[in-house]
Amino acid sequence: MGDYLYRCDYCLARFKSEKRFMKHHCKEMDKESTFKSLEGQAAHLFYKAWMKHKHHTTTTYADSFKQSQYFNQFVKFVEFAQKVHLPDPNSFIELMVKHKIDPKFWTHPDAYGKYLEWVTRILPAKKLIEITVNTLYDITDEQEINVRDVFTIVAPNDVIQLLQQRRISPWILLNSKKFAAFFRDNTNSEERVIMESIINPEYWTKRFEAHPDDLKYAKDCVAALEL
């Protein structure tokens, strides 16, 4: 080491004076603190999921992720997923791999738009219902009320946004008496038109008829939640 008494563990730069060493800051240091943050850990999990779907491997080491050219992209994806409340990111990753969309483009509006189209058609009823139940609990926990009262605190615009984000599913809504009452009494004609165009009730009527077991499951959930 000679006169160099200090060394940065991240970039291995060496320093003679403590003062300069204390002032030292480097990209590697930033990367390490990003990696250790909650977002960084989530990014690592998504990277693992992507490796599993794309390259069929479950062994991805922390170091290979940190050195990956996709590191920043996955961190960005975590921020994006939080911002848009992306329903079920693992399904998102699976569909991106299936349609050969590189992580570089995952935060692009086109990829997100495609995913929202797919979510409703491709995800099984159970998954869509699970997403919906989680969303309802998120909303009602925040206001400290029971899920059965959710339609007393949401505004039509909230429901429209949740539908657009695919965070609540017609599996629950169209089988809920309380939603039917909300739709009838709390919305104006413009809001009803928007909701109907997002929901597409004709499609759901057919899907319900074609999948009686799923319909029963959905109705059981609605009954359990007292919706």
What is the contact surface with Zn ion in residues (CB under 5 A)?
A: 8, 10-11, 13, 26
- For residue 85, the minimal CB distance to Zn ion (Å) is 36
Q: Which is nearer to Zn ion, 8 or 133 (CB)?
A: 8
- For residue 23, the minimal CB distance to Zn ion (Å) is 11
Cα(134)–Cα(147) distance, rounded to whole angstroms? 10
Our CA dihedral for 83, 88, 92, 97, rounded to 10 degrees, sits at 140
- For residue 67, the minimal CB distance to Zn ion (Å) is 16
| Token pair of 64 as six digits | 């290979």
- For residue 70, the minimal CB distance to Zn ion (Å) is 22
Q: Which is nearer to Zn ion, 23 or 184 (CB)?
A: 23
Q: Which is nearer to Zn ion, 26 or 223 (CB)?
A: 26
Instruction: Give 185's Cβ-side CA count (13 Å radius).
Output: 9
Q: Which is nearer to Zn ion, 8 or 122 (CB)?
A: 8
- For residue 24, the minimal CB distance to Zn ion (Å) is 6
Furthest-apart CA atoms within the chain: distance in Å = 80
Q: What is the DSSP letter of 76?
A: H
DSSP H or E segment with residue 147: none
Task: Name residues whose C-beta falls within 8 Å of residue 182's C-beta, 6 or more positions apart in sequence.
Answer: 151, 154, 159
Q: Which is nearer to Zn ion, 25 or 192 (CB)?
A: 25
Task: Name residues whose C-beta falls within 8 Å of residue 10's C-beta, 6 or more positions apart in sequence.
Answer: 26, 28, 29, 31, 32
